[in-house]
């Protein structure tokens, strides 16, 4: 519905020559790389966080210096939120706000993350709480928006945590966690995952979540975290430029609440005496999408791409408004 308006504004307001490329679920990265390799003055990514990640990854892979504008069309729109490009206000006009940034905004270099060779802009994660980001279906997200994620997050109290081996720099340790994230942003939509995360500091924030009580889960469900920094349960934050995450195949110790939740879940599934699983690997997530399994090698790619953000009407002289 927005495509015609966006194209008209790009052509009429700035005299761009616009080419449209639809992305599909089965589209290969090399197809998009070929499209953004051509000399371009501007690239616009329109879609949810998965589409934005796909486009930014292709731009970073080619080393293109063309600025990227974002039209947020998803449920979370996490990158757009953290860039100040998206306001979930009923009086806001998301398309107009996006077009203003694209046509009159300023360029800003941002970092990307790289997980097992796949670029991400928001976060990579593993564990039951990471799975909760993947679980909500299209209908749930359409009807409930961000509450769909909060609901699935709270439900993870019935899932046993996982024992991870975490290696960063010269440090290596094992930790029992319900969720482990390497995040590039502060706001995850339902709340702040890390107060210290920045999009252009050349680092990622390693966040380890291991809630024990129901109030922890409730708080994490609606805010993801209460802001504890430095290793206090249920939250731990550490700045990293790279990290390796793998599963230790042992059963994790359970809190009283987790033990009760596991018993209820086992009973309802007809396995009342089932022991908590001994994981060999778990699902890896990037920017809300499933992306293989552990082990995960995650590193930051500093200043990977240029994004257009809200700013003065004067565009930087680094980029030409004239089309090729």
Whole-angstrom distance, CA of residue 230 vs CA of residue 233: 9
For residue 152, what pLDDT is reported?
58
Beta-strand pair 162-168/242-247:
antiparallel
Burial classification of residue 167, based on how many CB atoms lie within 10 Å of its CB (0-12 exposed, 13-18 middle, 19 or more buried) = middle
For residue 320, what pLDDT is reported?
39
CB atoms under 10 Å from CB of 42, counted, come to 19
Q: What's the pTM? A: 0.81
Confidence class for position 216, pLDDT limits 50, 70, 90: low
Q: Write out the residue limits of the CATH 3.40.50.10330 domain(s) in the chain.
A: 3-111+303-309
Phi and psi based region of residue 147 (left: phi greater than 0; alpha: psi -120 to 50; beta: remaining) = alpha
58-110: pLDDT as tens digits: 999 999 999 999 999 887 788 998 999 987 777 788 899 999 999 999 999 99
Homologous superfamily in CATH for domain 3-111+303-309:
Probable inorganic polyphosphate/atp-NAD kinase; domain 1 (3.40.50.10330)
Q: Point out the least confidently predicted range of 13-22, 47-56, 69-78, 261-270.
A: 261-270
Q: Write out the residue limits of the CATH 2.60.200.40 domain(s) in the chain.
A: 123-300
For residue 324, what pLDDT is reported?
39
Is the CATH number 3.40.50.970 carried by domain 123-300? no
Give CA separation, 240 vs 96, 170, 193, in Å.
Answer: 37, 11, 15
Q: What tokens does 124 get? A: 């990579």
Q: What tokens does 44 get? A: 């616009």
Q: What angle do CA 146, 151, 157 make, to 5 degrees?
A: 140
């Amino acid at each position: 519905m927005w495509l015609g308006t966006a194209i008209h504004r790009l052509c009429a307001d700035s005299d761009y020559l616009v080419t449209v490329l639809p992305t599909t679920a089965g589209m290969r990265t090399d197809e998009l790389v070929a499209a953004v390799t051509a000399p371009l003055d501007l690239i616009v990514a329109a879609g949810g966080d998965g589409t934005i990640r796909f486009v930014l990854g292709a731009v970073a892979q080619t080393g293109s210096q063309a600025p990227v504008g974002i039209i947020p069309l998803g449920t979370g729109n996490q990158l757009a939120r953290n860039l100040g490009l998206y306001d979930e206000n009923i009086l806001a006009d998301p398309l107009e706000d996006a077009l203003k940034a694209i046509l009159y905004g300023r360029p800003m270099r941002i970092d990307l993350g790289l997980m097992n060779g796949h670029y991400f802009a928001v976060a990579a994660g593993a564990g039951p709480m990471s799975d909760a980001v993947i679980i909500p279906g299209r209908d749930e997200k359409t009807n409930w928006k961000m509450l769909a994620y909060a609901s699935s997050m709270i439900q993870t109290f019935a899932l046993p945590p996982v024992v991870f081996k975490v290696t960063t720099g010269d440090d290596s340790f094992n930790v029992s966690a319900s969720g482990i994230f390497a995040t590039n942003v502060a706001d995850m939509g339902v709340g702040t995952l890390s107060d210290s995360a920045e999009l252009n500091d050349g680092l990622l924030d390693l966040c380890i979540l291991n809630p024990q009580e129901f109030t922890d889960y409730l708080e994490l469900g609606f805010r993801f975290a209460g802001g504890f920094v430095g290793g206090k349960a249920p939250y731990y934050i550490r700045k990293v430029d790279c990290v390796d995450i793998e599963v230790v195949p042992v059963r994790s110790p359970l809190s009283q609440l987790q033990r009760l939740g596991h018993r209820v879940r086992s009973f309802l599934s007809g396995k009342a005496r089932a022991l908590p699983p001994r994981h060999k690997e778990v699902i890896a997530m990037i920017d809300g999408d499933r992306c293989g399994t552990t082990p995960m090698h995650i590193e930051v790619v500093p200043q990977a791409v240029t994004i257009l953000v809200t700013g003065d009407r004067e565009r930087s002289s680094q980029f030409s408004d004239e089309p090729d």
